[in-house]
Amino acid sequence: MKHLKLLTTAAVVTTIAFGSMAQAQEMKFWRIGTGSAGGTYFPIGGLIANAISNPPGARPCDKGGSCGVPGLVAIAVSTNASVANVNAIQAGQLDAGLAGAQTVVQSYNGEGKFVGNKKDKIRVIGNLYPEDMHLVTPKGETLKSLKDLEGKDVGIAQAGSGTQVSVKMILDHYKITVNAAELNNTQSSQRIADGQLDAYFYAMGTPSSALVQLGSTKGFELYKFSAAEQKEINSIIPFYVESLIPAGTYEHLNYDVPTVAVNGQLVTSVDQPDDLVYEITKALWSDSTRKLLDNGHAKGKVIRKETALKGVLIPVHPGAERYYKEEGMMK
């Protein structure tokens, strides 16, 4: 797949000692589609890859080694995010991926962008965390309403992202015409810093590394969605619900930011073996993974087993379903 680019994560072990145990184990690589390096999907995907991996020859879990699936080497792959991930999973070019709930449901049902092109192999492993819509403007530049974007140079996220699908729906609903730039989060933040964009949208977990960097150099503002806008966006995109980016999430922003958010989910293909997905799901929600998530990223703290099935509206993979039934979370 041309637009996939492998990036090294902690899950990729560069030196593996192959002893007798390694010879007895079959190594299996498992590709997890994420997003751009400056967003949240990539670091979260890297944490998950690290958590579920247990390469041949690695120290066992009870001796301080990985508590992942024996023989599995999971790799976080940088992609164009949600839409690109479900397309690649359906085609067998990725084994799993992160995607927003809107993309997951619409792709499975053949709705919206996926009319006539449904992705019926998509299955959920688990719900992860809310992705807050960021509407970023240069430092000192604020918007009174979304209508102020009319005629402006606005980043609408990259093609193949769930964000772009949602942003186009929002702009169309409000009949706002912009000079649209298809850019990922990192590219957009750079254009803001260089004065080449008036604003940009991006749905992602907080804090975004690209925005942290922008905040430490040029600075930026975040648009505060009105209560009416939150309600109206929810009416046209039910997957987006009211949310809040608290003051201090980004060091230089001392105000709360009302916004909307969509849940990010970990999905795979129904073609993936049931036993493998069962073991992956079990590893994902292990005590060992809990420590990795809590210490690895701010959004990792809200990825919890208790909300693993929240907002899941398509079938769960049979392997994951087996785990959740054992845990009393599904009947």
CATH class of 132-262: alpha beta
Residue 163 has pLDDT above 60, yes or no: yes
Across 2-6, 36-40, 96-100, least confident range: 2-6
Instruction: Say what the pLDDT of residue 1 is.
Output: 45
pLDDT digits (tens, 9 = 90+) for 84-139: 999 999 999 999 999 999 999 999 999 999 999 999 999 999 999 999 999 999 99
Instruction: Say what the pLDDT of residue 218 is.
Output: 96
Ramachandran category for residue 103: left, alpha or beta (phi over 0 → left; psi -120 to 50 → alpha): alpha
The string of DSSP letters for 175-201 reads: T---EEE---HHHHHHHHHTT--SEEE
Question: 3-class SS at 134?
Answer: strand
On whether the CB atoms of residues 156 and 200 are closer than 8 A, the answer is yes
* Lookup result for tokens 């909300």: 307
User: Cβ–Cβ contacts within 10 Å for residue 205, how many?
Assistant: 23
The 8-class DSSP code of residue 39 comes to: S
Number of separate helices (H) and strands (E) present in the chain: 11, 13
Across 8-22, 89-103, 301-315, least confident range: 8-22
Instruction: Say what the pLDDT of residue 62 is.
Output: 84
Residue 283 has pLDDT above 90, yes or no: yes
Q: Burial level of 312, CB count in 10 A (0-12/13-18/19+)?
A: buried
Report field, pTM of the whole predicted structure over 0.75: yes
pLDDT digits (tens, 9 = 90+) for 204-219: 999 999 999 999 999 9
User: Cβ–Cβ contacts within 10 Å for residue 206, how many?
Assistant: 23
Q: Residue 193 is which amino acid?
A: A
Half-sphere exposure of 239 (CA within 13 A, CB side): 26
Across 59-68, 84-93, 143-152, least confident range: 59-68
Matching CATH topology for 5-130+264-326 and 132-262? yes
On whether the CB atoms of residues 211 and 189 are closer than 8 A, the answer is yes
Cα gap 47→286, rounded to integer Å: 13
Closest CA to 247 of 221, 271, 268, 273: 221
Instruction: Say what the pLDDT of residue 16 is.
Output: 36
On whether the CB atoms of residues 35 and 83 are closer than 8 A, the answer is no
pLDDT digits (tens, 9 = 90+) for 165-209: 999 999 999 999 999 999 999 999 999 999 999 999 999 999 999
Give me the torsion for CA of 104, 74, 271, 42, rounded to 10°: 10
Strand partners, 10: none
Residue 9 has pLDDT above 50, yes or no: no
Peptide bond into 70 cis (omega under 30): no
Closest CA to 237 of 298, 290, 187, 173: 173
Instruction: Say what the pLDDT of residue 3 is.
Output: 45
Half-sphere exposure of 320 (CA within 13 A, CB side): 25
Instruction: Say what the pLDDT of residue 37 is.
Output: 85
Cα gap 86→94, rounded to integer Å: 9
On whether the CB atoms of residues 287 and 243 are closer than 8 A, the answer is no
The arithmetic mean of pLDDT across residues 8-31, rounded, is 54
The arithmetic mean of pLDDT across residues 27-31, rounded, is 96
Cα gap 72→276, rounded to integer Å: 9
Residue 25 has pLDDT above 80, yes or no: no
Instruction: Say what the pLDDT of residue 89 is.
Output: 98
- Mean pLDDT (the chain, rounded): 92
**Model confidence at 300, in pLDDT bands (50, 70, 90)?**
very high
| Domain extent listing, the chain | 5-130+264-326, 132-262
Cα gap 163→155, rounded to integer Å: 11
Sign of CA dihedral 192, 196, 201, 204: negative
CATH superfamily of 5-130+264-326: Periplasmic binding protein-like II (3.40.190.10)
